[in-house]
C-alpha cells in the first residue's frame, strides 16, 4: 500500500508541475470532442465531451465514450466510470439516458430533459459503450465480433482508460471509481482486477483506483440461478409444482441440464413473457411496434439459463416504452453529428443492446475469487440490490455474498432516505451490501433519489444513515 500511496503522490506532483497548461495536441483533441449542445437539450453549465478512443490500432477497434464534468467544483470531485452489461448493452442508452446521467429521454418525445438525480452532482461521470459492436463502438475487423468475451472486454476497457487519460491528463490524479449493473457484475470486477494488477508495474499509466460498486449484479452462476427460482416462488410468480420440479431435477452447480430440468425451466420462463422480469410490479409496454427483441448470444453466463430466449429479454425501465424514444433519438443524424458518433457509418442502427454480437467466448462461472482478491488488496467494494428485480434478485445476491465467507462487522439494519426506509444494509469485512426498497433491476431508474444517495455515500466512504433524523 505504501508504494501505491507514493506513486499517487508522484503522479499528483507531475500533474501539478507539468500540466498547468495542456499541450497543443491534447488541447486540440479535447476541443474536437467537446459537445457544445445536443438537439433537444436543455441548457447546462457543466462541460461535456464525446468521441472515440482507439483500443486496438491494427484491428481498428475503437470504443465510444460520453463524459460529463461534475455540476460544480469538478476539480474536487472524483471520476466515476459507469458500465452497463448485457453483455452487449449500451451504457449510454441505459446508464446515461434512462438511469443516472445528466440527460434523460423525455417521455413520448425523442428529446432530452435534465435529471434531477444525476450522479454528476457528486462525480465527473464517464460512460463507455463496450465491447466493440455495442452502440457506436466499432471495429474495422469484422472477425473481432466472433471473438468477444469477458477477457477481450476487460482488456479493451483497460486500453480505453489508458487512452482516455492520455486525452484528458488533467483527470489522471483524481480518485477513480467504477460502477455498473447486471452483467457488469462480470465487467466491473474484471476491469478492476486489470487496473489493480497493472498498477503494480505502471508508472506512466498508473490509475488512482479506489473502489467499485455493482448493482443487481451477475456474480456467481450457481447462486444467481438458485436465487432466481427461490425469488420467483417466494413472490408468487411460479407455482409450488414448478418450484418443486426445478428443485428436484435441476443442479445449478453444473452447466448442463436434463430433459426434466429443461421442461421445468420452460414453465418457469413462460411467466416472464407476460410480466417484466426486471421489475415484477412495473407495467409492460403495450404500444404497437414495440415487440420484444431477443438477440441470443451464445456462451454468456450463466451457461444454463442463457440457453433460454426469455433470459435475453432487455429491461424496459420505469416508462415501459422509453426504449422506443431513446432509439429514435440516438439514430437522429443531427444527434450523431453533435456527439461525434457513427463516424464510420455503421451498417446497422444504434440499439440499446447489440444485434451484431451473437457469440461470447469466455465467461467464468464465478467472479467471487476476483472480488475476494480485490477486497484483500484494500479496494472498496459496495454491492446493492433493488428488491423487486426478478432477473438478478436480492435472493441471489445474498446467497452469492454468503459464499465469500466474510466476517460481519455491522449486522442487518435499515437505512433511511427522507425519513423513509430506503432499504436494508449489512457491512462485512471489506464489503458493504445494500438493498433498495421497491426498486427493480435498474435501481437509478426506479429509485433515483435513493440511488444518488447511495453513490454519494459510496464515493465519500460513509455509511448510509441508520435513523430517520
Which of the following is catalytic: 276, 389, 396, 457?
389
- The answer to whether residues 404 and 422 touch, using CB atoms and an 8 Å cutoff, is no
Q: How many other CB atoms are found less than 10 A from the CB of residue 371?
A: 29
Q: Do the Cβ atoms of 236 and 211 come closer than 8 Å?
A: no
Q: Which of 294, 224, 215 is nearest to 253 (CA)?
A: 224
Measure the CA–CA gap between 216 and 385, rounded to whole angstroms.
Answer: 5
Question: Which residue in 22, 18, 17, 19 sits closest to 34, CA to CA?
Answer: 22
Do 131 and 389 touch, CB atoms closer than 8 A?
Answer: no
Name the helix (H) or strand (E) containing 82: strand 79-83
- Distance (Å, rounded) from C-alpha 459 to C-alpha 456? 5
Q: Is 389 a catalytic residue?
A: yes
CA separation for the pair 54, 59 (Å, rounded): 10
Q: In what helix (H) or strand (E) does residue 65 lie, and over which residues does it extend?
A: strand 61-68
Beta bridge pairs of residue 174: none
Contacts with 311 (C-beta within 8 Å, 6 or more apart), sequence order: 269, 305
Report how far residue 332's alpha carbon sits from residue 350's, in angstroms, rounded to the nearest whole number.
10
Q: Is 257 a catalytic residue?
A: no
User: Could you say which of 90, 182, 306, 396 is catalytic?
Assistant: 182
Taken as a whole, the chain contains a residue count of 469
- Listed in order, strand segments (DSSP E) in 112-216 are 112-114, 124-129, 138-139, 176-181, 209-215
Which residues lie below 8 Å from residue 49, measured CB to CB, with a gap of 6+?
Answer: 30, 33, 34, 35, 65, 66, 67, 168
Catalytic residue positions, numbered: 182, 389, 441
Amino acid at each position: 500500500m505504501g508504494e501505491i500511496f507514493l506513486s499517487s503522490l508522484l503522479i499528483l506532483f507531475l500533474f501539478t508541475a507539468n500540466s498547468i497548461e495542456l499541450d497543443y495536441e491534447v488541447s486540440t483533441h479535447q476541443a474536437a470532442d467537446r459537445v457544445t449542445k445536443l438537439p433537444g437539450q436543455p441548457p447546462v453549465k457543466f462541460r461535456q465531451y464525446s468521441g472515440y478512443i482507439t483500443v486496438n490500432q491494427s484491428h481498428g477497434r475503437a470504443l465510444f465514450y460520453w463524459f460529463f464534468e461534475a455540476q460544480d467544483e469538478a476539480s474536487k470531485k472524483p471520476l466515476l466510470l459507469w458500465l452497463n452489461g448485457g453483455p452487449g448493452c449500451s451504457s449510454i442508452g441505459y446508464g446515461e439516458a434512462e438511469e443516472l446521467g445528466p440527460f434523460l429521454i423525455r417521455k413520448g418525445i425523442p428529446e432530452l430533459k435534465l435529471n434531477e438525480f444525476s450522479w454528476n452532482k457528486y462525480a465527473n461521470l464517464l460512460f463507455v459503450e463496450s465491447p466493440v459492436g455495442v452502440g457506436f463502438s466499432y471495429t474495422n475487423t469484422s472477425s473481432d465480433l466472433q471473438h468477444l468475451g469477458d477477457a477481450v472486454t476487460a482488456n479493451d476497457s483497460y486500453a480505453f482508460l489508458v487512452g482516455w487519460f492520455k486525452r484528458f491528463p488533467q483527470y489522471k490524479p483524481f480518485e477513480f471509481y467504477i460502477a455498473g449493473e447486471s452483467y457488469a457484475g462480470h465487467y466491473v470486477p474484471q476491469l478492476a482486477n486489470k487496473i489493480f494488477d497493472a498498477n503494480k508495474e505502471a508508472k506512466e499509466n498508473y490509475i488512482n483506483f479506489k473502489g467499485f460498486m455493482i448493482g443487481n449484479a451477475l456474480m456467481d452462476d450457481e447462486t444467481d440461478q438458485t436465487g432466481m427460482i427461490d425469488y420467483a416462488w417466494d413472490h408468487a410468480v411460479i407455482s409450488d409444482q414448478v418450484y418443486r420440479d426445478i428443485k428436484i431435477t435441476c443442479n445449478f452447480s453444473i452447466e448442463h441440464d436434463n430433459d426434466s430440468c429443461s421442461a421445468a425451466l420452460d414453465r418457469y420462463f413462460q411467466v416472464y413473457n407476460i410480466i417484466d422480469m426486471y421489475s415484477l410490479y412495473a407495467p409492460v409496454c403495450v404500444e404497437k411496434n414495440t415487440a420484444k427483441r431477443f438477440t441470443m448470444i451464445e456462451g454468456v453466463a450463466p451457461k444454463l439459463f442463457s440457453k433460454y430466449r426469455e433470459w435475453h429479454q432487455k429491461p424496459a425501465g420505469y416508462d415501459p416504452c422509453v426504449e422506443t424514444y431513446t432509439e429514435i433519438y440516438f439514430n437522429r443524424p443531427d444527434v450523431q453529428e453533435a456527439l461525434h458518433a457513427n463516424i464510420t457509418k455503421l451498417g446497422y442502427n444504434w440499439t440499446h443492446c447489440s444485434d451484431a454480437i451473437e457469440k461470447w467466448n469466455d465467461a467464468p462461472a464465478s467472479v467471487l475469487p476476483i472480488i475476494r482478491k480485490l477486497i484483500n488488496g484494500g479496494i472498496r467494494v459496495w454491492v446493492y440490490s433493488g428488491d423487486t428485480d426478478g432477473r438478478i434478485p436480492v435472493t441471489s445476491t445474498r446467497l452469492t455474498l454468503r459464499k465469500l465467507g466474510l466476517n460481519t462487522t455491522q449486522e442487518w439494519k435499515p437505512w433511511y432516505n427522507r425519513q423513509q426506509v430506503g432499504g436494508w444494509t449489512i457491512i462485512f469485512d471489506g464489503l458493504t451490501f445494500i438493498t433498495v426498497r421497491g426498486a427493480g433491476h435498474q435501481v437509478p431508474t426506479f429509485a433515483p433519489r435513493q440511488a444518488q444517495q447511495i453513490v454519494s455515500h459510496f464515493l465519500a466512504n460513509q455509511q448510509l444513515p441508520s435513523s430517520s433524523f
